[in-house]
């Protein structure tokens, strides 16, 4: 590794010392070369410059800066020593040439001249219908632990932990190691979301201690259940981690990657565990596509932090093992989607005309209904040309980027709320505001047929405080609870209480069942009463808010009932309509009219027209199949 550092430093020193040849002083050239070599060695050792892009990438850029500095110093030196004006022109000319080269190439690769190329960095974007791809989410799988919460819990765990040194003596983990939340990851482990938080060296001192064999383990924080204790996973003796981001010299993770891949860019790195709970560092590798910029992830390295094995093998994007949840880099995905919205119409349109200019709002990591890991990016409209301001309440689409393959899918959502708007609405709720809770890291889920933000709430110390759920298309449909389950029930009650006055997105998930009540229990959630009913021979519970039915209060075991419910596929089903067939009550004419209208409006909301059904079916087909069907339909129409 050191030989590679010396080689790059030597090349930089040779080129940057050229202006000194114009001074006609051999000793000056030699001295400048030695000084440049020492400085370049220090810069290369610290910066680990890559050679990706024009002029050998970062190495070329560093060389230009050295050339500019040497040209200026050599010119000043010759001004004091030499009298021939012609001699002094060569040093300053070299510096000016370096400056012009840097400026010219920066302009050539900028968005001003490559707007359309930047807009295509995101790749091919497939348009699909959100309600067709995302099924209702079980609240027990809502992610309720934020990055700040996981970091806080990990810090407490590392402060209380101990490990054994090579002499068999106990050491406090917190005295030698620290949480490295910057390379943590959210991972689906046995169908549950966990935050895997690595620990790393705490400064240089502990690494010089021969009694410390390495990093003793890592930390797991449940992303779905805040009452699950934080788990410090202790590694067996001889399996301590050696190659980490904070390690020194040749065991530094970045330095190891740079040694094998100096011609590539490290886009991201984080710790993940495989199916056998063995930790690996996943390093995302990118290459520039537009000069020095326009980076796109091309693959990943799966590095064993115990031995360093795997650093030499680049696995292409889309070919990583299934246990790896993230290869794409969040900041690159967000930036490339932002380019796609801003520059699809060209640089002039974005800077002057402002016609259909879009921008990315926030990007968060999550999982789709099929368990595939994705980056969720909101898309909204600009408020002015040439600027970066966005309209907070005009979400026009959501992009889902598969973090294993890089494939991006667009879901249109005209008029939805942005992530920040959802957080603000949650923060304004009475109980949330009074208790000084605040929302963080919203996630998009299908909650009872409507696209909704699930917003974890935390207190001032970043401790978990509850969950808020807010509809993307109507922020008035909002509820919170001290747990994901209670927030889900409260949100369900808001939907049911709203009756037909609340439009419901998605396809029909309503089912009807008739049966005998064998058990009924009540519970109070956020001051409102809700009932759970179990029917004979039915392996599901039905949840009914008291306000949803006049007769639920007097319903007893043994009564025959008819239930219309949301078929969400969960153990507990939310009820839309409840009727006790054992109680024959006479409704007034006015009440019957209201119920008839509510039922009609509900059917309209849940049962789209034939045109919408056809559009939804076509939206689920591949582009090739869709073209084939459209061609046959055109033949039929022409006949």
529-540 tens-digit pLDDT:
778 999 999 988
Task: Determine how many CB atoms are found less than 10 A away from the CB of residue 255.
Answer: 19
CA atoms of 367 and 400, how far apart (whole Å): 10
The CATH classification number of 510-606 equals 2.40.50.140
What is the average pLDDT value for the chain, to the nearest integer?
82
pLDDT digits (tens, 9 = 90+) for 386-444: 555 555 567 889 999 999 999 999 998 877 888 999 999 999 998 899 999 999 999 99
Is the separation of the CB atoms in 521 and 535 below 8 Å? no
Is the separation of the CB atoms in 257 and 243 below 8 Å? no
Position 363 scores a pLDDT of 94
Position 244 scores a pLDDT of 96
Tokens 């001003």 sit on residue: 112
Position 584 scores a pLDDT of 76
Dihedral angle of Cα 218, 442, 227, 433, to the nearest 10 degrees: 130
Q: Which two tokens stand for residue 292?
A: 């020095």
C-alpha distances (whole Å) from 82 to each of 88, 96, 323, 520, 526 are 8, 20, 67, 101, 86
Position 171 scores a pLDDT of 64
Cβ contacts of 75 within 8 Å, gap of 6 or more: 19, 88, 91, 92, 95
C-alpha distances (whole Å) from 318 to each of 123, 324, 372, 403 are 14, 11, 12, 9
CA atoms of 174 and 127, how far apart (whole Å): 49
390 forms beta bridges with: 382
Position 501 scores a pLDDT of 39
Position 502 scores a pLDDT of 38
Residues of the chain with pLDDT under 70: 79-91, 135-136, 138-140, 160-171, 210, 348-356, 382-393, 496-509, 525-528, 547-548, 568-570, 585-639
What are the residue boundaries of the structural domains of the chain, listed by start?
2-108, 127-140+328-415, 141-239, 419-501, 510-606
CA atoms of 364 and 576, how far apart (whole Å): 32
| Residue 486: HSE in the Cβ half-sphere, 13 Å Cα cutoff | 16
Is the separation of the CB atoms in 325 and 258 below 8 Å? no
Position 138 scores a pLDDT of 66
Q: Which two tokens stand for residue 218?
A: 């890592």
Q: How far is CA 275 from the centre of its chain?
A: 22
125 forms beta bridges with: 408
452 forms beta bridges with: 445, 471
Cβ contacts of 547 within 8 Å, gap of 6 or more: 493, 496, 497, 528
* Of the candidates 454, 560, 447, 578, the residue with the CA atom closest to the CA atom of residue 509: 447
Is the separation of the CB atoms in 24 and 77 below 8 Å? no
SS3 content of the chain, % helix, strand, coil (to 5): 40, 30, 30
Biggest alpha carbon distance in the chain? 115
Dihedral angle of Cα 285, 290, 292, 298, to the nearest 10 degrees: 0
Tokens 């800077």 sit on residue: 351
pLDDT digits (tens, 9 = 90+) for 31-73: 999 999 999 999 999 999 999 999 999 999 999 999 999 988 8
Query: In a 3-state reduction of DSSP, which class is residue 117?
Result: helix
Cβ contacts of 40 within 8 Å, gap of 6 or more: 8, 9, 10, 12, 13, 16, 62, 66
CA atoms of 370 and 400, how far apart (whole Å): 13
296-310: b or e for each residue (b if 16 or more CB lie within 10 Å)? bbbbbbbbbbbebeb
- Say whether pTM exceeds 0.85: no
Cβ contacts of 153 within 8 Å, gap of 6 or more: 145, 221, 230
Triad 307, 406, 630: Cα angle to 5°: 150
Position 617 scores a pLDDT of 45
433-446: b or e for each residue (b if 16 or more CB lie within 10 Å)? eeeebbbbbbbbbb
CA atoms of 458 and 40, how far apart (whole Å): 47
Position 389 scores a pLDDT of 53
Position 572 scores a pLDDT of 78
Dihedral angle of Cα 366, 369, 372, 374, to the nearest 10 degrees: -30
Query: In a 3-state reduction of DSSP, which class is residue 298?
Result: strand
Is the separation of the CB atoms in 305 and 216 below 8 Å? no
CA atoms of 54 and 3, how far apart (whole Å): 23
| Residue 349: HSE in the Cβ half-sphere, 13 Å Cα cutoff | 15
């Amino acid at each position: 590794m050191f030989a590679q550092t010396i080689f790059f430093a030597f090349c930089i020193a040779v080129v940057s010392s050229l202006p000194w040849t114009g001074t006609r002083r051999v000793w000056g050239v030699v001295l400048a070369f030695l000084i440049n070599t020492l400085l370049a060695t220090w810069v290369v050792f610290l910066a680990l410059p890559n050679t990706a892009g024009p002029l050998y990438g970062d190495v070329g850029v560093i060389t230009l800066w050295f050339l500019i500095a040497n040209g200026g110093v050599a010119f000043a030196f010759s001004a004091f020593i030499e009298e021939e004006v012609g001699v002094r022109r060569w040093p300053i000319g070299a510096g000016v040439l370096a400056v012009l080269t840097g400026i010219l190439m920066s302009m050539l690769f900028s968005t001003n001249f490559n707007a359309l190329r930047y807009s295509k960095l995101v790749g091919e974007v497939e348009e699909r219908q959100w309600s067709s791809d995302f099924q209702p989410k079980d609240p027990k799988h809502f992610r309720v632990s934020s990055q700040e919460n996981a970091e806080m819990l990990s810090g407490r765990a590392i402060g209380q932990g101990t490990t054994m040194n090579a002499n068999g003596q106990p050491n406090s983990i917190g005295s030698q190691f620290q949480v490295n939340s910057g390379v943590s990851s959210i991972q689906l482990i046995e169908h549950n979301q966990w935050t895997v938080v690595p620990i790393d060296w705490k400064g240089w001192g502990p690494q010089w201690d021969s009694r410390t064999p390495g990093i003793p383990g890592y930390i797991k924080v449940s992303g779905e259940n805040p009452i699950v204790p934080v788990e410090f996973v202790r590694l067996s003796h001889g399996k301590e981690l050696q190659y980490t981001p904070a390690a020194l010299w040749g065991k530094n993770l970045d330095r190891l990657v740079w040694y094998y891949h100096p011609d590539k860019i490290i886009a991201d790195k984080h710790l993940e565990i495989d199916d056998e709970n063995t930790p690996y560092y996943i390093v995302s590798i990118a290459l520039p596509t537009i000069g020095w910029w326009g980076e796109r992830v091309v693959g990943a390295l799966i590095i064993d932090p115990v031995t360093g094995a795997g650093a030499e093998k680049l696995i292409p994007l889309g070919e990583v093992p299934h246990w790896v949840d993230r290869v794409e880099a969040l900041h690159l995905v967000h930036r490339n989607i932002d380019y796609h919205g801003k520059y699809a119409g060209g640089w002039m349109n974005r800077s002057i005309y402002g016609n259909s200019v879009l921008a990315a709002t926030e990007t968060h990591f999550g999982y789709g209904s099929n368990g595939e890991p994705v980056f969720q990016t909101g898309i909204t409209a600009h408020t002015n040309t040439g600027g970066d301001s966005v309209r907070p309440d005009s979400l026009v689409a959501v992009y889902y980027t598969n973090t294993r393959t890089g494939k991006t899918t667009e879901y249109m959502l005209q008029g939805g709320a942005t992530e920040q708007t959802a957080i603000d609405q949650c923060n304004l709720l009475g109980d949330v505001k009074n208790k000084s809770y605040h929302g963080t890291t919203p996630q998009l889920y299908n909650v009872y047929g409507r696209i909704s933000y699930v917003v974890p709430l935390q207190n001032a110390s970043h401790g978990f405080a509850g969950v808020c759920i807010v509809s993307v298309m109507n922020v008035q449909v909002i509820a919170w609870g001290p747990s994901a389950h209670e927030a889900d029930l409260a949100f369900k009650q808001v939907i049911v209480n709203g009756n037909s006055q609340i439009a419901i997105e998605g396809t029909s998930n309503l089912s009807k069942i008739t049966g005998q009540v064998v058990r009924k229990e009540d519970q109070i959630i956020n001051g409102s009463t809700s009932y759970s009913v179990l029917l004979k021979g039915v392996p599901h519970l039905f949840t009914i808010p008291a306000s949803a039915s006049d007769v639920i209060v007097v319903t007893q075991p043994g009564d025959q009932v008819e239930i219309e419910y949301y078929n969400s596929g969960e153990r507990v089903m939310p009820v839309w309509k409840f009727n006790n067939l054992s109680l024959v009550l006479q409704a007034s004419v006015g009440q019957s009219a209201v119920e008839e209208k509510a039922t009609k409006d509900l059917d309209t909301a849940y049962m789209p027209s034939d045109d919408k059904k056809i559009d939804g079916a076509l939206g689920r087909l591949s582009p090739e199949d869709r073209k084939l069907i459209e061609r046959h339909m055109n033949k039929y129409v022409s006949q």
